[in-house]
Amino acid sequence: MAPDASLPLLLGLAWLLPLVSFTIIVLFGPKLGKAGILASYLATGAIICSFLLSITAFGIWHFGGLGARADGDGAHSTTIAATPGDMHAAEDAKQEADAHSDGAHADAAHGGEAHGAEGHAAGGHGAGHSVPTSVPNHYTKDWYSLAEFGPLKMSISYYIDSLTVLMFSMVTLIASLIHFYAFGYMHDELHAIEDHEVVLSNGHHLHRPGRFYRFFQYLSLFCFSMLGLVIAGNILMVFVFWELVGICSYFLIGFYIERRSASNAANKAFIVNRVGDFGMIIGLMALWGSLGTFAFGDIKNAEGKVEHGIFSTVRPAEQIAGPDGVTHEPFSLRVPDGMVKSAAMDKITQEGIESTPDQVEVWRQEKYGYWLLIIAGLGIFCGCVGKSAQFPLHVWLPDAMEGPTPVSALVHSATMVAAGVYLAGRFYPVFTGEVLLIIAYIGAITLFMAATIAITAVDIKRVLAYSTVSQLGYMMLGIGLGGWAAGLFHLVTHAFFKSLLFMCSGSVIHATHTNDMRRMGGLRHKMPWTAYTMLIGVLAIYGAAIPFVIGFSGHYSKDSIIAQSLSFWQLNPRHGAILSGLAIAGSGITAFYMFRMWFMTFAGKPRDHHVYEHVHESPPVMYVPLVVLSVFAVTAGFPWLPFSVPKLLEQARYPGAVATAPLLDKVVFPEEYLSHLDPFHSQAEIMITFVALGGLALAVAFYGLRLLNPDEAKSQFAPIYRVLWNKYYFDELYAAIFIRPVMFFSKMIANFDRWFIDGLIHRLAAGVKKLSLLDDAIDRYFIDGLVNLLAAWTWSLGNSLRSLETGRLRQYVMFIVIGTVALTLLVRWSVAAGG
Amino acid sequence: MGPINWHTFFFYLYALVACGFAVAVVISTSIVRMALYLIVALGATAGLFFLAGADFVGAMQLMIYVGGTLVLLIFGVMLTAQGPLVSLRTTGGDWIVAMLLAGCLAALLIPAGLTVSSWHTGHPVTTAEKDAQDVQTVLVSTTIAHGVPTAGGLPDADSNGIPDKQPITAAPLGMGLLGARVDKLGDVPEALRPGMSGYLLPFEVISVHLLVVLVGAAYLARSKRRAPNR
Amino acid sequence: MQILTQSVGVSHYLVVGAVLFISGVVCMAVKRNALGVLMGIELVLNGANVNFVAFGSKFLRSDSAYALGLDGQLISLFVIVLAAAEAAVALAITLNFYNNHSTVDVDRADELKG
Amino acid sequence: MAEALANYLWPWLAYLSVGLLQCVLLLLVPFVGAMFFVWVERKVSARIQDRLGPTRCGGKFGWLQLLADGLKLITKEDLRPGDADAVLFRIAPYISFCASFAALLALPFSNGWVAQNLDVGVFFILAVLGLEVFGVILAGYASASKWSLFGAMREAAQVVSYEVPLGMCVVVPVLITGSMNLVTIGQMQAGFFTQWLVFHDPFTFITFWVYFTCATASVNRAPFDLAEAESELVAGFHTEYSGFRWLAFFMAEYGSMFAVSGLAAILFFGGWNGPIPITSMLGLTPENGPVLAWIGNLLGLFNFIFKCVLGVTFMVWVRWTLPRLRIDQVMQVCLKYCTPIAAVMFLGATCWTYLLPGGVGLRAMPYAQRYVTSAPADAAAELDRIATTRVARGGE
């Protein structure tokens, strides 16, 4: 079976299986076994099947050599490897750094050697060494057309490339493990439970039946939505499943809906996401209004005619010669005609200039429609910001920890929040330089801020939540700096070790029934599996490694991001200083707070003996997934594996140079392959190693060996501590800017409603009441009077006639006869009168 | 003076008997005698019917009225035949009023009966008409009864126009009750005949009515506890 | 003896019917015995029957084309049958009355008088 | 006959004389018949009770006994209770007698030998026989005696209820022959006894027995003689009677017995038509002239009277064989057995006559069809055909 048929089949099945289980559970949830326990088997079976299917697809992709590009062989690539160099030089010709660029060339040659291992492992094709010059191998097609509005097609389509396959494998793997984990974690829900965190009005705790099956039903729905988001072939479908994962996270955060905090958190997450999605809708409108398509790739329609997708519209493959000789390089970002025209609409309509290709080219030179492209990019990125909790909209994710821990592990660390990064990566070809820079800044701010907040957090899950936010910030930073592969690489590795961390914390919470690290400590004696798997996770996120030899997965991904930032710094000193500074600092802080968490939880002496006594190791069903994940957390980043993540990502990289930022002068984005070369690579590795070691040392000093007293530090840096403790007052800020005004305004409206409109209505009602009283009086005295009068008359008449009714049969006979006689006489007289 | 018209003679005989005994019913005070007189009066009426050529109706009168109804009546009489009840006296006032009413009615009805001149005298039934009638009867009897004409089913017209044999009316009446009006062969246009059901529906209604009356009477007459005599 | 020589007509029958009718009415009017009233009703019905039969007969009128024909007899048949039914019910009612009041005096049956 | 006589003397005289003659002939039936049947009854009952019966009055089989009875009854004193209703007490026997006598008026004794050939003869006879009960009732009431009253009331109840099944049974032959004229009915059974209606179909056969039971009851003979139940009511309605009035009752009873027997003979046993059509074999038919026809009718007369006597004798036999029923049993027999059976027989006979070819229904329907569908012209043609036949027969 040809891969273009088999891959969609496999992945489509993998996508739909969770939907099936969801449907079944929705329909027959409580009836599935005792307390719906079969529902969990069903959901788990479904997700495992889709995992196997995804793995199969992965195998087909890898061993089928489907990653090879049209021009994918080594000879070509090396020759082509030069051209980007020239192009690079051409781009920043205004810069006087010729020597650097030469050096860059030299490095390019040398780096090829230095990374020979990669080169060989990559099967001879030059991914990672150069800018690919052809569209990556992908399969896209319409499955089902929902609707067509003129040029706009709304369809269920798929876009499958190595990124899709990678994401599928990752998501289904983690989801399967977490399903298993949830068996153990959610078993309380199997029977009616008493929720001690909910106090009813009568002072008792809430008693409610278990919701075991419902949890798995939500999980299935989430898996379906997430996979649909990954496999989506057009941005509209992405949006739909985007919202679906949103609603799933809403359900799951609010799983303990009776807890006010949970329901508030759910609402918060949903509303904050709405803000981002609104921007996304703007982006969608910009795209549709100007391009008239939602599809990512080119799709052959029924007539066999190729309909251009967004990518090929924004980055045309052919070389185009402009009117004034300015040529357009293949696959480089180019404002599409649609945007130009729609931007120049007033010129076309009012001044009547017909839009010939030359005219359009002239307009394009005048940057017509460029801002439209920026808006499209920014809008889509807004969605990403909301979904993956970036700087302005990051407030929801920590609160989302109200949900059950498996949910936090799956939804709020591994997959859903990563969806924002995934979308940013998908849309990378469309982002202009300006947008990329904004992304980079957002990411940098986020990662630093979240990391700093995490220092002071004492809730174990919140620590992890903030670390998630900051790691997402890393990814965004990577993508924003042109490190497309780096960002997505970190996405994958982070998914593994962060879910591992969360599940470990879940295991801890499961054992201690508390989130507060201050009441833990020394747990590693009681729960070794959890402790050491978590240690592995911590090391992974810390990026521990023996430099240039081997390291945990986090090491490689974070390293590549930092390297990219360094190469960016080298090209743009000002921006680069800030961005890479923040990134590097962030890595140090990460090391600090992660180890702080681990020490506070597992090391030292138990602070709360009451808790400590009840602690016990979690059942195998919970720690076996931990072991599996820890294996992945260690190995997911190894670059020399034949199917290492970076190689796979390179197979999906869209050709063409990184976008330029014409509006911001002096901002140049380096090609990513440069960052793999020295000096950046080695610099980065050395830097983060030392910075992280510094953070580690601090953590050990504070919490491990207790050389320093954290409380003293607290009091010493009291103001900073307060700021951090209050999370930079973001919630208060939003409360002040948005919530209070809205509340005030709505109160005013409510008062207007209550006092003015209601008063009006009440007056009207009073008037009507008076009127009806009057009417009633009329009715009672006049009309009823008439009727009663009539009745009285009838009564008296009947009374007077009563006497006739003597009850004497014979009198009646006589009456009859008299009547007959009288009638006859009457008739006769009338006849006589008539005749 | 011409020959005596025996038809007329017998008419007056029966009429006198009927009227006389009817009046006797009114006058009599004993309920049982009233019943007896009534029987005679009704029997005489039956005779009048025979004379008028409605022998089936006459026989019906005898059978149902005299034979059935009056037996019931006397039955009732005897059930309630106790000394004081047999003769309940009526006050004179009632009598006077009743007589006045009777006078009024008589003054209305009898003149009304005498107004139309063509009713004053019957007419000697001519041969043609009798033929027509007899032919009907023959037609009916032949078609119904083996096609054999009934013996003496064909009355002759004697000098006085008295049909010495009663005309056959039973079969035509039966056919009429079944919906076929044999006495008006040519009268009804062909188009209307299929829809013309004669007296079939009333016949059925009467039958059901009789059944209901049977049940109702049985229900009413069943003896309940007697009230203490007042 | 003049009357005996000419044939009778409908009028004669009508007179007889009238007499029967009137006597029936008077009977109903004056008899206090329920059965007497019943007999009066029978008389009245017979008077009507006489008229019907008379109108139905072909011999009794000079213009026999206008005679009712069988219709008269049929109607009188119905009258007889209904009279029988009526007699049965009335008798039953009377017996009922007698059982409850131990009298058949219709003047005593005035519980419903106004 | 009357027409023939009218040619010689005044019509009214002719009618009068013929009427008188017929009345006298018919009066013979109750008078002679009563005496004869009394003798027969004495003899039969005696034989049934293993006695000789009357032998002392001389004559063969002591036949003079019937004269003796007559003389005794005629000469007996006519008593009347003191507080009896004189008029009613007097006329009651005669009412009964008149009723049973009038029944004979419509009874054809031979082919066309009938006092009043009514088209509704069957009906008439039933009606008049129904009148007989009046005498009994009046007698019972008038002779102010509770025994009599009881008897009368029983009689009334019994007769009124038995008229229903009786009428039903009678309707069956009428249905089959399609005529209520007894002469017609008799003529239709001319020929061998297979022509008799009792053998017409199984339903008529059963109907006959139901009819006979009901007839026995309606003339209140034993076992239905509740009206004069010697053992309970002294003698029932004629307890207070004696002498000629009692005789009148007696004659009325035997007359009505004769009448119902005659009715049975005509309705079921072919009337004057014997088991074997001797008259037609001997050519004693109207075709061979009035005289032979008269002789044939005479034979038919004897045949008919023989059948009637047979019927009466049968009643006598039954009387002396079966015990008397109780009044409730009488009612039960009527309402629970006779009426339903008669109804079923009526239904069956109807179906039989409709389903078998030559049945009345199949004969009547084409007529109604022709009436409903054919144009008046066809009806007129029919009229002409009948008229011509009539003229032709009028000629003979």
Mean pLDDT, rounded, for A596-606 = 89
**Is the pLDDT assigned to residue D356 strictly greater than 80?**
no
Q: Using 50, 70 and 90 to split pLDDT, how confident is the model at A101?
A: very low
CA angle A130, A68, A336 (to 5 degrees): 65
Residue positions counted in chain A: 835
pLDDT tens digits, one per residue of A792-809: 999 999 888 888 777 778
Please report the DSSP string for A581-649 in residue order.
HHHHHHHHHHHHHHHHHHHHHHSS--S-HHHHHH--PPPHHHHHHHHHHHHHHHHTT-TTSTT-HHHHH
Yes or no: say if B25 and B2 are a contact pair by the CB < 8 Å rule: no
Q: Name chain D's partners: 3 or more CB pairs within 8 A.
A: B
Q: What's at D185, amino acid-wise?
A: I
**D positions 12-51 inside 8 Å of B (CB):** 12, 15
Mean pLDDT score of chain C, rounded to an integer? 83
Greater confidence (A168 vs B193) lies with A168
Greater confidence (B196 vs B6) lies with B6
So what's the pLDDT on residue B227?
A: 54
Mean pLDDT score of chain D, rounded to an integer? 78
Chain D's closest residue to B180, CA to CA, is: D368
Yes or no: say if D231 and D200 are a contact pair by the CB < 8 Å rule: no
Q: Does C63 touch chain A (CB under 8 A)?
A: no
So what's the pLDDT on residue B188?
A: 59
Structural domains of chain B in order of their starting residue, each with its CATH number: 6-110 (1.20.120.1200), 127-218 (no CATH)
Locate the domains of chain C by residue range.
32-106
Report the residue of B26, B95, B104 to disrupt the A interface, i.e. the one with the largest count of A CBs within 10 Å: B104
State whether A804 and C106 contact (CB < 8 Å): no
Measured CA to CA in angstroms, residue D196 lies from D186, D208, D274, D312 at distances of 9, 11, 9, 19
pLDDT tens digits, one per residue of A730-776: 888 988 888 899 999 999 999 999 999 999 999 999 999 999 999 99
Greater confidence (B215 vs D65) lies with B215
Please report the DSSP string for A668-715 in residue order.
-PPPHHHHTSTTHHHHHHHHHHHHHHHHHHHHIIIIIS--S-HHHHHH
So what's the pLDDT on residue A445?
A: 93
Please report the DSSP string for A135-166 in residue order.
PPP-EEEEEEEEEEETTEEEEEEEEESHHHHH
Structure tokens at A13: 């099945």
Lowest-confidence pick of A609-618, D111-120, D253-262? D111-120
Mean pLDDT, rounded, for B213-228 = 73
**Is the pLDDT assigned to residue B27 strictly greater than 80?**
yes
Chain B neighbors of C109, CB-CB under 8 A: none
Residue in B18, B72, B177 nearest the CB of C20: B18
So what's the pLDDT on residue A403?
A: 87
Structure tokens at A583: 């990134």
**Is the pLDDT assigned to residue B180 strictly greater than 60?**
yes
φ and ψ at D142, to 5 degrees? -70, -40
User: Most distant CA pair in chain D: distance in Å?
Assistant: 77
CB-CB neighbours of B222 under 10 Å = 11
pLDDT tens digits, one per residue of B105-141: 888 888 888 887 777 776 655 555 555 555 555 445 4
Smallest CA–CA separation between A828 and chain B, in Å?
A: 10
State whether B88 and C58 contact (CB < 8 Å): no
Structure tokens at A584: 């590097």
- Name which of D96, D36, D34, D31 is nearest D241 in CA terms: D96
Lowest-confidence pick of A380-384, B184-188, D385-389? D385-389
Lowest-confidence pick of A283-287, A818-822, D386-390? D386-390
Residues of chain A above pLDDT 90, percent: 38
Locate the domains of chain A by residue range.
1-64+134-145+152-231, 806-835
ipTM of the complex: 0.71
Mean pLDDT, rounded, for A481-493 = 91
**Is the pLDDT assigned to residue A93 strictly greater than 70?**
no
**Is the pLDDT assigned to residue A487 strictly greater than 70?**
yes
Report the residue of D181, D188, D331, D360 to disrupt the B interface, i.e. the one with the largest count of B CBs within 10 Å: D181
Residue in A803, A804, A809 nearest the CB of C106: A809
Residue in B76, B124, B184 nearest the CB of C35: B76
**Is the pLDDT assigned to residue D94 strictly greater than 80?**
yes
**Is the pLDDT assigned to residue A377 strictly greater than 60?**
yes
Residues of chain A above pLDDT 70, percent: 92
pLDDT tens digits, one per residue of A119-168: 333 333 334 456 777 888 888 888 888 888 877 788 899 999 999 999 99
Locate the domains of chain D by residue range.
76-356
Q: What is the DSSP letter of D198?
A: G
Structure tokens at D147: 């025994």
Mean pLDDT, rounded, for A318-341 = 78
**C positions 18-37 inside 8 Å of B (CB):** 18-27, 29-33, 35-36
Smallest CA–CA separation between B194 and chain D, in Å?
A: 6
State whether C8 and B224 contact (CB < 8 Å): no
Lowest-confidence pick of A606-620, A625-639, C36-50, D2-16? D2-16
Mean pLDDT, rounded, for B72-95 = 68
The partner residues of A516 in beta bridges, in order of sequence, read: A459
Chain B's closest residue to D387, CA to CA, is: B135
Q: Which strand (E) or helix (H) includes residue A396? A: helix A396-399
**Is the pLDDT assigned to residue A521 strictly greater than 50?**
yes
The span from the CA of D196 to the CA of D177, in Å, is 11
Greater confidence (A692 vs A85) lies with A692
**Is the pLDDT assigned to residue A619 strictly greater than 80?**
yes
- Name which of A667, A517, A655, A530 is nearest A593 in CA terms: A517
Identify whether D286 is preceded by a cis peptide bond (ω within 30 of 0): no
Lowest-confidence pick of B45-49, B145-149, D176-180, D356-360? B145-149
State whether C112 and A805 contact (CB < 8 Å): yes
So what's the pLDDT on residue A706?
A: 82
Residues of chain D above pLDDT 90, percent: 3
Mean pLDDT, rounded, for B142-171 = 41
Q: Using 50, 70 and 90 to split pLDDT, how confident is the model at D91?
A: confident
**Is the pLDDT assigned to residue B184 strictly greater than 70?**
no
So what's the pLDDT on residue B34?
A: 84
Q: Does B98 touch chain A (CB under 8 A)?
A: yes
Greater confidence (D178 vs D256) lies with D256
So what's the pLDDT on residue B132?
A: 54
Most confidently modeled range among A343-357, A401-415, A740-754:
A740-754
Q: Using 50, 70 and 90 to split pLDDT, how confident is the model at D256?
A: confident
State whether A810 and C110 contact (CB < 8 Å): no
Yes or no: say if A321 and A362 are a contact pair by the CB < 8 Å rule: no
Greater confidence (B138 vs A679) lies with A679
Query: What burial letters (b/e) apply to A247-272, b meaning 16+ CB within 10 Å?
Result: ebbbbbbbbbeebeebeebbebbbeb
Q: Using 50, 70 and 90 to split pLDDT, how confident is the model at A631?
A: very high
So what's the pLDDT on residue A192?
A: 83
* Residues from A in contact with C at Cβ < 8 Å: 801-810, 813-814, 817
State whether D156 and B141 contact (CB < 8 Å): no
pTM here is 0.53
Q: Does C90 touch chain A (CB under 8 A)?
A: no
